[in-house]
Structure formats: structure tokens, C-alpha cells
Amino acid sequence: MGDLQDQQFLHSKLGTPWSDGTEGVTQCPILPGETFIYKFVVDRAGTYLYHGHYGMQRAAGLYGSIIVSLPEGVSEPFSYDYDHNIILSDWYHASTNEQAAGLSAIPFVFVGEPQSLLIYGRGKYNCSLSTASGIAAGVCNTTNPECSPYSLTVVPGKTYRLRIGSLTSLSALSFEIEGHDMTVVEADGNYVEPFAIRNLYIYSGETYSVLVKADQDSSRNYWATINVVARKPATPTGLAIFNYYPNHPQKQPPTVPTTGPLWNDTTSRLAQSLAFKARQGFINTPPVTSDRVIVLLNTQNKIDGHFKWSLNNLSLILPQTPYLIALRENLTDAFVQDPPPDGYDFANYDIHSVAKNVNATSSNRIYRLRFNSTVDVILQNANSMTVNNSETHPWHLHGHDFWVLGYGTGKYNLSRDWRKYNVVNPIMKNTAPLHPYGWTALRFRADNPGVWAFHCHVESHFYMGMGVVFEEGIEKGGELPSSIRGCGESEGHHRP
């Protein structure tokens, strides 16, 4: 699984910020052969993810789900007969070391689109060559049952809760089950007001629960598919079989699997993002105003000839000494103490064009937030270094859920666009997409003492600097465990 490994748990980890698993932020790397125990209170039921958070280790497959059960005597506000967990991912033939080396090289070498899409860890390669029709794409005729696609067996008439998480390196996905509506009921561990969809857009780092009723013709099977959206696809449809008992689980559906919605139909994706509301009876109302607004301009840049991603022209490089240790022990030379900027040159920056000057600066500065204050973050998208191209970035905040106040297109207007916010029943999440040429407005309470990464969940983007770090209430909480030490200025080498 590579040489070093961390874990990122998508929980709040209130009181145990050293269990967040972010190398360089909350701990030193875990060396080969070492053991590191993450211990934290799971404070809310729901569907979560964990994965390696060092270099590009996640892309090598170091990930999984965490399902937190409801306390005894409490039940979900919706009903279903069975509960299944499905991770979606993409897969490359190039090793993550190769990929990372390319990203750091001059000239820049980008691995590009994945070779396969995986459902439940299963996918196919090169099967599209076997037929022209595409029916066999991703399935291939084979006599080896170990190469067969994932098959979800359902009993006619029963309702299934599918807990779907995406841990793709790169790809935004559209997931659908042929001929079946899905009702969304949970997102990132929060209940949402149920609504029916034909396809679910899901971005890396997100989780959703959908309810699906096996109410179609039970004499056949159906395709479950994933397709790339938001980037021009070069990867075949990922396939699984929605198997009606007692048909053979591997019996091919009689239909051609969908190739999904138009990859560049941003409007449809934005509309789905806007459709989510907190569930009635479970609304956690946000503070009406905030104490601070931080606008983060998302740009692709160059630094000394290397390709980078930046926020307000600063590209994140994590320090040798993890922030959590440096801040607790006042190691002021561990990183630059000046804060990064709260905004960019709003008046003059043209988000619809390649920047006139694409050069940026490397930085390890952090945002220090007043404990218990309310913070708004406006993510502002822009043109990349390619003409007429703006990418989709799923932004993930550690240690908190945020309210998703709104999404919009074009340049966010500070004096006007806050009027578009939903402050009545906004959904809470820990990951939200920033759509091409658009903005996403988030609000959170800085109420979790510690240091927390906030970054684009595309593996290569974070690797190339697309993140910031928040600190709040660092002086609070218990003693740091020695297990997080052993690098930079943090003394000693930890032993498990």
C-alpha cells in the first residue's frame, strides 16, 4: 500500500484532534511496520469514509467506509428492509508513485482519465474492444466468476437502503440504476428532505443514502452504472448488476447500459446540488450572520515551472512539523506565522479567462479562527490554465460539518449574493462541490479545538497545493499523544 500511511476519518473528532489522520496537519507519517491507533468518539450515526491522507496513497486503494449505527431505541426517520454499502472509485494502471512523480515533474505529466471505474471494487479493462455495441463493455464474457461485476441481489417488493460513497481520485460520477427511481435520504451523515432522482451526481469524498424499491419486472436483471461527468470522459461506464432474486446474479440485463448524462451539463449538476434541503424535524438552523468571511479563489498556477493549484494565489505545502504540535508547543519557526489573505483582487480578476499572470507562491500559512466564532467560506471558481476550462472541485472540511448556504454561477458579489443564501433549512455536509465558473458558500462554527485541513478532494489537486488549514481553540483539550510525534521538530521517534 506504499510506504507510509495515515487515516482520515470524516467525523468531528471533538476533543481528539490528533485522531484526524492528516499527515503534516495533525500528526507525523506512520512509518512502514508501525501501528497507529485512532481513538475518537463517534458522535453521530451515519455513513462515513476513511482513507490514507499522505501523498497520493488514497489513490492506491487505502480506503473504506465507517457505518455508525443509531443508539439503541432510536430509529431512522425512513424505513427500508435491507442496508447495503457501496464504494465507488476510479482505477489507474500507473502506480501512485509514478503519478505523483509526473505531477511534480518539469514538464508536467498528468496521468489523465482513469483506466476503469469501480463499483464495490470491481471493474473491467479493455473489454470495450470486444464488441462494437458497448454492451459487453465492462463485463467481458469470461468463464471466471472472480472477474464478474458486483451483483446486488434484491428480493422483489423489498426496499433497499444503499449507502453510496465516492473515493475516486479524480472523477465526478453519475450513478443510476436502470429503470429505478432513488430517493435520497442522507448526505454525509445528515438527514436530507427526501426527494426522488433518476441519477445521483456524487463527488469524491461524499456519501449518500438512497432508498430503492425493487418494484420493476422481476423476471430480469438491471444495470447499475457509473459514468464520468464534469470532465470529458475517456473511461468506459462502470457496471454492476441489480439482480432480482431468483434470477442468476450474473445474468446480463437485456439492455444496453446507459452512458449517463452529458458530461458537460453543468446546469443539471448545479440543479441537483441546489435541490438538497435539511430534513423537516432534523433542521439545525445556522447562525443568521457570520463573524468572518473568507473568499477563496481557486486557480491553477505555475511555481518555478511546476504546475500547482492555489487559493488566493497561495499553494499549500505542508510543514515538516505537524501544525498541531507546532502550535501547541509554540514552535514558531515550523511555519510562516503571517496569515494568508481573506480574499483576492475582486475588482480586477477575470474568473472567465486564463490569468494574465499564472505565477503563484508556495505557502504553509494558516487561518487562525476565533474559537466559537461563525465563519463563512466562499469558494470562487475560475478558468484554469486551459482556455475555456474550469474544473469541478469537491471541497472537504475536516473536523466539522458546514451548512451549505448556496451555489451560484459567475463571480460572487459580496454585497449582493448573500441574499441568495438558504438560511432556513440548509443541508449540513463535510464535502461540497464547487462547480465550473461558479461559487459555493459554506458556513461553520469554529467550535472544535484543533487544526483542520480544508481541501479539494481530487487527489492530484490536493497534492498540487489545493488546500488551506484552519486553527481554532488550539490551547484547549488534552495532552497530545506521543504517537503523533517523530518528524520535523517534534522530538523523538514514536514507537507503537
415 touches its own copies by CB under 8 A: no
Contact (CB, 8 A) for 188 and 207: yes
The residue within the footprint of its own copies, chosen from 79, 133, 143, 415 (CB under 8 A), is 143
- Structure-block grid coordinates of residue 165: 460513497
145 binds its own copies (CB under 8 A): yes
Contact segment (CB under 8 A) with its own copies among 244-252, 314-322, 386-394, 461-469 equals: 244-252
CA distance 204 to 5: 19
Query: Can you tell me the distance from the alpha carbon of 357 to that of 301, in angstroms, rounded to the nearest whole number?
Result: 9
| Position 68 contacts its own copies (CB under 8 A) | no
Q: What distance in Å separates the CA atoms of residue 44 and residue 70, rounded to the nearest whole number?
A: 8
Rounded distance between C-alpha atoms, residue 96 and residue 115, angstroms: 14
Q: Does 155 bind its own copies (CB under 8 A)?
A: yes
Binding piece for its own copies, criterion CB under 8 A, among 68-76, 103-111, 119-127, 137-145: 137-145
**423 and 285 in contact (C-beta within 8 Å)?**
yes
248 makes contact with its own copies (CB under 8 A) = yes
Minimal distance in Å, beta carbon 145 to its own copies?
5
Asked whether position 370 contacts its own copies by CB under 8 A, the answer is: no
Regarding 35 and contact with its own copies (CB under 8 A), the answer is: yes
- Interaction between residue 85 and its own copies (CB under 8 A): no
**Closest approach of its own copies to the CB of residue 219, in Å:** 14
Cell numbers 521517534 correspond to: 493
Binding range to its own copies, per CB under 8 A, among 48-56, 242-250, 378-386, 460-468: 242-250
Order of strands across the sheet that contains 182-187: 116-119, 82-91, 159-166, 207-213, 182-187, 190-197
- Which residue in 249, 341, 343, 477 binds its own copies (CB under 8 A)? 249
Q: Which is nearer to its own copies, 110 or 245 (CB)?
A: 245
Is 43 near its own copies (CB under 8 A)? no
Strands (E), 92-138: 116-119
Q: Does 132 bind its own copies (CB under 8 A)?
A: no
| 229: Cα within 13 Å, side-chain hemisphere | 28
Residue 127 is given by DSSP the state: G
Q: What is the DSSP string of 71-129?
A: PTT---SS--SEEEEEEEEEE-SS-HHHHHHHHHSSS-----S-SEEEETTB--SSGGG
The reply to whether 482 sits near its own copies by the rule CB under 8 A is no
* Minimal distance, residue 374 CB to its own copies, in Å: 35
Interface with its own copies (CB under 8 A): 35, 37, 39, 82, 143-146, 153, 155, 245-246, 248-250, 496
